[in-house]
Amino acid sequence: MHVLFYDENYKYAGEDDFFGEELPANSTTTPVPEGIYAPKYDPEKDEWVESATKEYIESVTPPAPEPSPTDLLKKQTASLSLQIAKLQADISALKGGGAS
C-alpha cells in the first residue's frame, strides 16, 4: 500500500510503498488533494489541509499568462462590433423618430 508520512507537527514528510500489516507511526494512506502547497495532516478528520500562508502561495503561483495578440484583437473586434450595433440601433431609432 502507498503510505504518506508526516512529522511531529503533522507536516507532510514524504511517501513510500509499505508492505506490512499495520501502518507505521506518523503515517496515513489518505492522499493529499491536488492544489495543496504545504500539506498538513489532520488525524481527527483523516484529511490533509493547507498550512501555507496566503503570501507563500502567491509567491509560488506563477502569474497569469499575458493574452496573445490574437486574443487582444478578438476582444477589440468584439467591442467594436458591439459599438457599431449600438450606433446602428441609435440611428434607426432617430430615423424612425424623425419621420413622425
pLDDT digits (tens, 9 = 90+) for 23-56: 999 999 999 999 999 999 999 999 999 999 999 9
Considering the domain architecture, whether residues 26 and 68 belong to the same structural domain is answered as no
Considering the domain architecture, whether residues 10 and 51 belong to the same structural domain is answered as yes
Considering the domain architecture, whether residues 83 and 54 belong to the same structural domain is answered as no
Considering the domain architecture, whether residues 18 and 34 belong to the same structural domain is answered as yes
- Look up the domain containing 93 and give its range: 64-100
Q: What is the DSSP string of 31-70?
A: PPPTT-SSEEEETTTTEEEE-S-HHHHHHHSPPPPPPPHH
Which residues lie closer than 8 Å to 33 by C-beta, 6 or more apart? 48
Considering the domain architecture, whether residues 55 and 7 belong to the same structural domain is answered as yes
- State how many domains the chain has: 2
CB of 48 closer than 8 Å to CB of 41: yes
**Grid cell listed for 99:** 419621420
Considering the domain architecture, whether residues 19 and 52 belong to the same structural domain is answered as yes
- What's the pLDDT at 63? 86
Considering the domain architecture, whether residues 48 and 6 belong to the same structural domain is answered as yes
**First-to-last C-alpha distance (Å) of the chain:** 84
Mean pLDDT for 13-23 is 92
CB of 32 closer than 8 Å to CB of 4: yes
Q: Look at the pTM and tell me if it is higher than 0.75.
A: no
